[in-house]
Amino acid sequence: MLAARAIENLSCCVGVNRVGYEGNDLHYASDRVVHDFLGQPLVELAAQGQVVTVSLDAAALAAHRERFPAWMDADEFTIAP
């Protein structure tokens, strides 16, 4: 679902998970992913614990938002106290 969030929000999305076992013997898969604004994976990591650096292209994102101005379809609203 993270790819869908990237597309609908016109932004990059990062999903991370814990790695290894915790005190109650729960296993965390450690799956991690970075999606670009089109929902395409830039990095996908599985069960190994590691650190990666990903460069995000702000100019490409701005150009995409210019070509596809979905934010203009937003409804105006206020949140009542």
* pLDDT tens per residue across span 26-39: 888 778 899 999 99
Mean pLDDT taken over the chain: 88
Asked if the structure places residue 34 within a domain, the reply is yes
pLDDT of residue 22: 84
Domains identified in the chain, total number: 1
Q: Is 11 helix (H, G, I), strand (E, B) or coil?
A: coil
pLDDT > 90: percent of the chain: 43
Rounded-to-integer distance, Cα 44 and Cα 32, Å: 6
Residue 73 has pLDDT above 90, yes or no: no
CA–CA distance, 33 with 54 (Å, rounded to integer): 10
Q: 0.95 exceeded by the pTM?
A: no
| C-beta of residue 1 within 8 angstroms of C-beta of residue 15 | no
Name the token pair of 52. Answer: 């990666």
What are 40-54's pLDDT values in tens digits?
A: 999 988 766 678 899
Q: Judge whether 78 lies within some domain.
A: no
Expressed as residue numbers, the domain containing 42 is 2-73
